Structures are given as structure tokens and as C-alpha cells.
């Protein structure tokens, strides 16, 4: 490597089961020279460069470099790969920090390069620039720190011819005066005449590696395009002949794990200046994406409000038809009765004139009672969904109730039948139907107690012979929202952290930003730590707003330790972050990640007790659902807030154990996928 900056030997590379992108490729780049790598789209140029800069492993073969540190690279990818929300000046400052440059040095170099590349005013944002202007800024970033090795992938695409000529003159000067090695790919074959060496690439192989003059002389032509055409024809004819003879011209080698290490590993796993630069970049990106920031902060609190305002509360204003034969033929409503009480010889006390009216009075406190005169009409309206059901009271209801109270076990069968209330209900909605049944039963008990009290009999005589004492946990009048709040908040904390993590990482991946900053020297540890700090701040704001709505504005129970409650939510958030990283490595499209995240959260809502208690699930499902992410945590959260358990209780600490286990699983799996993807 004394005279060579880059040596590539026996390079093979393919993706999955696709045909090889690189086939036994050998390449040599001398120090202080310009190497023009030419070839059609899809021939493997970008893949070769990504292996040289360490973005990908070779399947077989090796790459050797004449540099020792990542900051010695100056890398311009084929994509723009610039943060669109940043100004040009901020882009220079960010990459200058990654390269270890002082602010003064960054300013001086930015002035020099901006003049040469005709960079616009550096206060302008990247998204406001044209495509050509953005490519110039991208090239300026690669040149900023004056690296000994420049890797430029299509740097002059879409640029003005005069500016292209200026750039080439500058590159020639760098190579000649400063001994900087430059590898450049281009579609414009003739502009590569200024290169010291030209590598013509086709179908994953280098057809030639000579100076422009030698290349044209060897092919007996006077321009590079004709030379490339002649070499391509020779390769095509050779492969065609070998195919006719049954000769396999490129036997793909048997691969072994880690057969080709990266040419350069990271200098150090963590550098505070680089970490600080990444953290500052994340903060600015978050601040300048107001829509995303409002979504992250306001949506959880809005969801909490909608949950408390609409979910788990007893349905109200339920219309219910009542047909009382006691009133039919006499009056149209209880308000028309001439007097309210009458003397009952059987009970020997004053009782309501109509027991059916007294019962409807109690029922009207819980349901919207609609009085009908005809039973068939009421049933027909119930079938039309105008009312939730029909309640029928017989003609002799009052006298039959009096007889049942006074005679007890001696009551006649006729009195028993006529004192019974008949009900026809719409049972299509499980929750509403059971609430109506409960309200009818409770109204009947209240009615009987009123009759007992009117006759001087203790109200308890009319009650059912069961005494419900003060609840051990919760209230004797439970609200379904209270028991489902745990599953709701745990699922949403998980979902929002997963969404932000996968969205931020995927955005940087899709636009080539992640690859570029890692080639510049940023490590995975620095990226993750910078993201975690921003996520921690956002998650704190999210959780504070959700807790404020759930427990300050509404009466959801919070009987346990508040610090333990918040700690559990942070642990759940970490699981969401780990799952977000896992999805970004497992899936390559933002759309698929969104589908996976939504599917995961919907599953959680079904099995974590939010929609329905898992005690009602199939026995086989009960066995494995608690091992699902966040399910044990939701149970733990409910035990803390509703029962006041502490960390020593099994229901509580198993939630923490489950979260830590899933975080470990997602993290290790993500690491394994990352290693595997680089090698395949």
C-alpha cells in the first residue's frame, strides 16, 4: 500500500438471490491521482463505492485503504443526502463537528469552497435550493475538511457545463498539488479524460484500468465512448462463446461468515463532540418540524381526553318502551291520576295508587321511559330500533304485588303471574343490554323498598338478601374506564415512542442521511444516545400531558406510588424505542413499518384488557398473551394505580421484568439483523 490508496481484490457482492453485482473485481487506485470509474447504470459502481467507504461488506474478497481514520474520507453519495430543514451554514457546522474541525476552520473552508462552487447565501435552507444547488452543497461537504481520499458518486450531474469544468480543474489541482486521491463516477464519459486512470465497468467487472490515452490507443480509437463500446462488445462476445461451450465464466465462491471485514472500523465507539453535533441536529430537526412536534405532544393528550370523555362511561339517554295495562282505559299518563296514594286493606297502610307508576318513576331515573298504550306498537318500534326494548305491566299489577307482600308463600299463582313484569329487549349490543337489565332490576328493588317504607316496614326488607360491603379495591359503583385506563395509556406510550423512533430513523435512511453521517465517523452508539435524549424529553412531555388529563381533569384512580407509575411508563417507552429500531432494520419501507406498528397496537388493545378482560379469553390464549409485549406491563400498571401495590408484589415486578426482557430481545435481534444485512 506504499503507492496505492485503494486496493480491491477478488471482490464479490450480491443482494439475496439476485445475480452478482460485483464479479471477481480487482481495482487499484494510486495515491495522488484521479480515478474515473465509468459504466452504465446498474453495473455496480455505487455498490463498489459503498464497500470501499464501509457502508457494506463484500461477500468475498477484500478492500485495503491507505488511510486509517473515517474522517480521512470525503464522501459524496449519489443521493443529495442533506438535512432539508437546515441552512447551508448549519450543514457545514454539523459536518465540521463530525470531522473534528474548529468553528474558525469551518468558516474559512466554507468561504473558500463556496466561492469556487458558487454556493448561494449560506443562510438559505436546503429545501429552498434547486437540485443543482443542492448537489453543489453536497460536494462542498465532502471537500470541507480537506481529506486525503475523496469518493465522489456522480458529483456533476445536473450542473452547468462551465461549473463542471471549474470543478474538474479544482479536482486536478487537489490531486497534483496536495496529493489527494480522488475516485469519481460519472455518466459523462468524455469529461473523465482529465482522470489519471479510467476504470471501465460493466456487469460487475472492470473491463480495463488504464490512462485515457493508453485506453484509446489499445482500442485504436480517438474517444473514450468508442473505446468503452469496443471493450463491451469483446466482453459480450466472450460470454456468449463461453455460454455456447457450457463454460461458467464466473463461479460464485462459497461464502463464509465475516469473510470480508470492513476496510475501516470506527475510530472510537463514542466521541462527545460528535454526539453533541448529532444531538444538536436532532433538536433542531424536531423544532423545525412543527407539525410532527404538535402531533407528538398534543395527540396523546387529545386521545386521553377522548378516552375519558367517551370510553367506559355508562350509556345514558336510552329510550325504553313501557306498556302499563293498569293505566290503559283510565288515563294516558301517571300525571293524570286524581291522587297519588290510597289505603291498602291487605297491607293496612297508605300505598301509591298505581304501583306501575311508582315503578316507572324509579325506572325513569335510569332510562328514558316512553309510555305506550299498545303492546304491539311498542314491539314494532323496538324492531325498528326506535327503543331498546319493551316492558309490559299487567292490569292487576298493584293488587297482585299487595297480595305477594301480605300473603308471602301463600300467594296464588294468578297473583304471581300478574305481579311479574314482562320484558322484550334488543340484545344485539352486549354492554347496553346488560346495563339496561341491571337498571331494570335495580329500579324494581328501589320500587319495592319505597312500598316497604310507605307501610313502615324497613327498606332492607325489599332488598335482595346480599350485602355488598365497601370494595377492597375500586368502588362499589365501578366505571369500566377505570379498569381499562391501564391498557390504554401503556399501549399509547409504546405506540408513540415506536412511531417517533422508526419515523426519525427511517427518514434518515431513505434519504441516505444515515449512511453519510456514519461514513463521516458517527457511530451507532452516538446516534442511539442522541436519539434517546430527544425521545426522553418528548416522552416526558407526552406522559405529563396524558397523566394530567387522566388523573387531574378526570377521576381515574391513582392509589399507588406516583414515582413507580412513571418509572413503568418510561420502561414501556424504552420497549417502544427498541421495537422502532427493530422495525427499521427488519423492514425497508416506511409504509410497512406503519402497518406493523398499527397492527401491534391493535393487537395490544385486544389482549391487554382495554377492550375486554383476558379472563374471558380461550384457555390456550391465556397462556401466551401475558408474554406479549406490554400486556404484563398493563397489568402491572393497573395493580399500581388501582390497588396500590408496590414493587415487591409479583403483579408489579413482572411488568418491569417483561419490559426489560422485550427490550433485550428487540435490541439483540436488531443488532443481529444489522450485522447480517451488511454481509448479505
Average pLDDT rounded to a whole number, residues 433-447: 91
Do residues 647 and 653 touch, judged by C-beta distance below 8 A?
A: yes
Three-state SS for 46?
helix
Query: Residue 356 is placed in which grid cell?
Result: 306501575
Lowest mean pLDDT among 19-28, 191-200, 504-513, 574-583: 504-513
At residue 507, φ and ψ (nearest 5 deg) are -60, -45
pLDDT of residue 340: 64
Chain mean position to CA 149: 39
- Helix, strand, coil shares, percent, the chain, to 5: 55, 15, 30
Do residues 155 and 135 touch, judged by C-beta distance below 8 A?
A: yes
Do residues 577 and 499 touch, judged by C-beta distance below 8 A?
A: no
pLDDT of residue 299: 86
Residues 6+ apart with CB under 8 A from 464: 445
DSSP 485: H
* CA angle (158 as vertex; 154, 160 as ends), nearest 5: 115
Nearest of 492, 579, 504 to residue 542 by alpha carbon: 492
pTM, full prediction: 0.80
Go through the chain and tell me how many residues it has: 680
pLDDT of residue 659: 94
Answer yes or no: is pLDDT of 313 > 90. no
Name which residue leads in pLDDT, 555 or 678.
555
Do residues 654 and 636 touch, judged by C-beta distance below 8 A?
A: yes
Note the pLDDT tens digit of each residue in 587-633.
888 888 888 888 888 888 888 877 888 778 888 777 788 788 888 99
Q: CA-CA distance, 435 to 444, in Å (whole number)?
A: 14
Could you tell me the pLDDT band of residue 335, with boundaries at 50, 70 and 90?
A: low
Most confident among 100-104, 343-347, 460-464, 477-481 (mean pLDDT): 100-104
pLDDT of residue 665: 95
Find the helix packing angle between 131-143 and 103-117, rounded to 10°.
130
Q: Regarding beta strands 368-372 and 319-324, do their DSSP bridges make them parallel or antiparallel, or are they unpaired?
A: parallel
Percent of the chain with pLDDT over 70: 93
Percent of the chain with pLDDT over 90: 35
Query: Residue 562 is placed in which grid cell?
Result: 406516583
Lowest mean pLDDT among 13-17, 287-291, 365-369, 468-472: 13-17
Query: Residue 9 is placed in which grid cell?
Result: 481484490
Chain mean position to CA 478: 33
Note the pLDDT tens digit of each residue in 121-140.
999 999 999 888 898 999 99
| Mean pLDDT, all residues of the chain | 86
Could you tell me the pLDDT band of residue 407, with boundaries at 50, 70 and 90?
A: confident
- Sign, Cα dihedral of 535, 540, 543, 546: negative
Answer yes or no: is pLDDT of 680 > 50. no
Nearest of 140, 7, 125, 159 to residue 76 by alpha carbon: 140
Do residues 23 and 66 touch, judged by C-beta distance below 8 A?
A: no
Average pLDDT rounded to a whole number, residues 495-524: 86
Query: Residue 135 is placed in which grid cell?
Result: 448537489
At residue 468, φ and ψ (nearest 5 deg) are -90, 105
Q: CA-CA distance, 17 to 50, in Å (whole number)?
A: 20
CA distances (Å), origin 592, targets 489, 503, 588? 24, 12, 8
pLDDT of residue 336: 62
Torsion of the alpha carbons at 117, 118, 122 and 126, rounded to the nearest 10: -80
Could you tell me the pLDDT band of residue 655, with boundaries at 50, 70 and 90?
A: very high
The 10 Å Cβ neighbour count of residue 144 is 23
Answer yes or no: is pLDDT of 490 > 60. yes
Three-state SS for 415?
helix
CA distances (Å), origin 357, targets 329, 374, 388, 391? 15, 17, 20, 13
Average pLDDT rounded to a whole number, residues 135-154: 92
Nearest of 38, 4, 39, 36 to residue 194 by alpha carbon: 36
* CA angle (156 as vertex; 154, 159 as ends), nearest 5: 140
Residues 6+ apart with CB under 8 A from 8: 25, 26, 27, 28, 48, 51, 52, 61, 62, 63
Note the pLDDT tens digit of each residue in 510-566.
788 888 898 888 888 899 899 999 989 988 998 899 999 999 888 888 999 999 999
Answer yes or no: is pLDDT of 257 > 70. no
Name which residue leads in pLDDT, 164 or 91.
91
- Is residue 193 classed exposed, middle or buried when 0-12, 13-18 and 19+ CB atoms within 10 A define those classes? middle
Q: How many CA atoms lie within 13 A of 479 on its CB side?
A: 17
Average pLDDT rounded to a whole number, residues 151-172: 86
- Is residue 98 classed exposed, middle or buried when 0-12, 13-18 and 19+ CB atoms within 10 A define those classes? buried
Lowest mean pLDDT among 101-110, 241-250, 607-616: 241-250
- Sign, Cα dihedral of 86, 91, 97, 99: positive
Three-state SS for 316?
coil
Q: CA-CA distance, 429 to 389, in Å (whole number)?
A: 12
Amino acid at each position: 500500500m506504499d503507492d496505492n490508496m485503494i486496493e480491491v481484490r477478488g471482490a464479490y457482492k450480491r443482494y439475496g438471490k439476485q445475480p452478482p453485482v460485483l464479479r471477481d473485481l480487482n481495482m487499484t487506485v494510486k495515491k495522488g491521482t484521479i480515478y474515473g470509474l465509468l459504466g452504465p447504470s446498474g453495473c455496480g459502481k455505487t455498490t463498489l463505492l459503498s464497500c470501499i467507504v464501509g457502508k457494506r461488506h463484500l461477500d468475498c474478497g477484500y478492500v485495503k485503504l491507505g488511510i486509517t481514520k473515517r474522517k480521512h474520507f470525503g464522501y459524496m453519495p449519489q443521493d443529495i443526502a442533506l438535512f432539508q430543514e437546515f441552512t447551508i451554514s448549519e450543514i457545514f457546522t454539523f459536518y465540521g463537528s463530525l470531522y473534528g474541525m474548529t468553528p474558525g476552520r469551518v468558516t474559512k473552508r466554507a468561504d473558500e469552497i463556496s466561492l469556487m462552487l458558487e454556493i448561494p447565501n449560506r443562510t438559505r435552507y436546503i429545501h429552498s435550493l434547486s437540485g443543482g444547488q443542492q448537489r453543489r452543497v453536497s460536494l462542498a461537504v465532502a471537500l470541507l475538511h480537506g481529506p486525503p481520499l475523496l469518493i465522489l458518486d456522480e458529483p456533476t450531474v445536473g450542473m452547468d457545463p462551465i461549473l463542471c469544468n471549474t470543478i474538474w480543474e479544482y479536482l486536478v489541482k487537489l490531486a497534483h498539488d496536495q496529493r489527494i486521491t480522488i475516485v469519481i463516477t460519472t455518466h459523462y464519459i468524455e469529461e473523465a479524460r482529465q482522470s489519471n486512470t479510467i476504470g471501465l465497468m460493466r456487469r460487475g467487472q472492470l473491463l480495463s484500468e488504464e490512462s485515457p490515452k493508453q485506453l484509446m490507443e489499445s482500442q485504436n480509437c480517438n474517444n473514450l465512448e468508442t473505446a468503452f463500446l469496443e471493450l463491451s462488445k469483446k466482453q459480450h462476445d466472450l460470454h456468449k462463446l463461453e455460454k455456447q461451450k457450457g463454460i461458467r465464466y464466473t463461479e460464485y465462491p462459497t461464502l463464509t461468515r465475516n469473510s470480508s471485514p470492513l476496510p475501516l472500523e470506527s475510530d472510537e465507539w463514542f466521541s462527545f463532540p460528535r454526539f453533541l453535533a448529532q444531538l444538536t441536529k436532532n433538536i433542531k430537526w424536531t423544532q423545525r418540524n412543527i407539525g410532527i412536534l404538535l402531533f407528538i405532544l398534543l395527540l396523546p393528550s387529545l386521545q386521553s381526553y377522548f378516552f375519558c370523555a367517551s370510553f367506559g362511561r355508562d350509556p345514558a339517554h336510552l329510550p325504553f318502551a313501557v306498556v302499563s295495562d293498569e293505566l290503559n282505559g283510565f288515563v294516558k299518563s301517571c300525571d293524570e291520576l286524581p291522587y297519588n296514594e290510597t289505603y291498602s286493606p291487605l297491607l293496612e297502610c297508605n300505598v301509591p295508587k298505581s304501583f306501575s307508576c311508582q315503578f316507572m318513576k324509579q325506572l325513569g331515573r335510569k332510562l328514558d321511559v316512553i309510555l305506550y298504550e299498545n303492546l304491539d306498537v311498542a314491539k314494532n318500534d323496538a324492531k325498528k330500533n326506535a327503543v331498546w326494548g319493551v316492558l309490559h305491566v299487567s292490569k292487576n299489577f298493584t293488587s297482585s304485588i299487595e297480595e305477594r307482600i301480605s300473603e308471602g308463600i301463600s300467594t296464588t299463582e294468578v297473583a304471581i303471574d300478574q305481579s311479574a313484569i314482562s320484558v322484550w329487549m334488543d340484545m344485539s349490543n352486549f354492554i347496553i343490554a346488560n346495563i339496561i337489565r341491571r337498571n331494570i332490576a335495580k329500579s324494581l328493588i328501589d320500587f319495592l323498598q319505597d312500598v316497604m317504607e310507605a307501610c313502615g316496614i324497613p327498606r332492607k326488607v325489599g332488598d335482595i338478601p346480599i350485602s355488598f360491603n365497601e370494595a377492597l379495591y375500586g368502588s362499589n359503583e365501578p366505571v369500566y374506564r377505570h379498569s381499562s385506563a391501564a391498557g390504554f395509556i401503556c399501549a399509547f406510550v409504546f405506540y408513540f415512542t415506536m412511531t417517533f423512533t422508526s419515523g426519525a430513523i427511517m427518514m434518515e435512511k431513505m434519504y441516505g442521511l444515515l449512511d453519510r453521517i456514519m461514513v463521516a465517523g458517527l457511530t451507532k452508539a452516538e446516534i442511539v444516545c442522541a436519539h434517546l435524549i430527544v425521545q426522553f424529553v418528548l416522552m416526558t412531555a407526552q406522559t405529563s400531558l396524558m397523566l394530567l388529563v387522566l388523573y387531574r381533569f378526570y377521576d381515574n384512580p391513582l392509589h399507588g406510588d406516583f414515582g413507580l407509575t412513571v418509572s413503568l411508563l418510561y420502561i414501556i417507552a424504552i420497549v417502544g424505542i427498541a421495537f422502532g429500531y427493530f422495525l427499521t432494520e427488519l423492514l425497508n419501507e416506511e409504509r410497512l413499518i406503519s402497518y406493523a406498528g398499527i397492527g401491534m397496537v391493535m393487537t395490544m388493545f385486544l389482549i391487554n384488557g382495554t377492550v375486554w378482560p383476558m379472563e374471558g379469553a380461550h384457555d390456550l390464549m391465556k397462556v401466551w398473551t401475558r408474554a406479549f409485549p406490554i400486556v404484563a406491563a398493563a397489568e402491572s400498571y393497573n395493580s399500581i394505580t388501582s390497588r396500590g401495590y408496590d414493587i415487591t408484589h409479583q403483579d408489579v415486578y413482572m411488568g418491569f421484568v417483561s419490559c426489560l426482557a422485550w427490550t433485550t430481545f428487540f435490541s439483540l435481534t436488531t443488532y443481529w439483523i444489522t450485522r447480517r444485512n451488511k454481509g448479505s
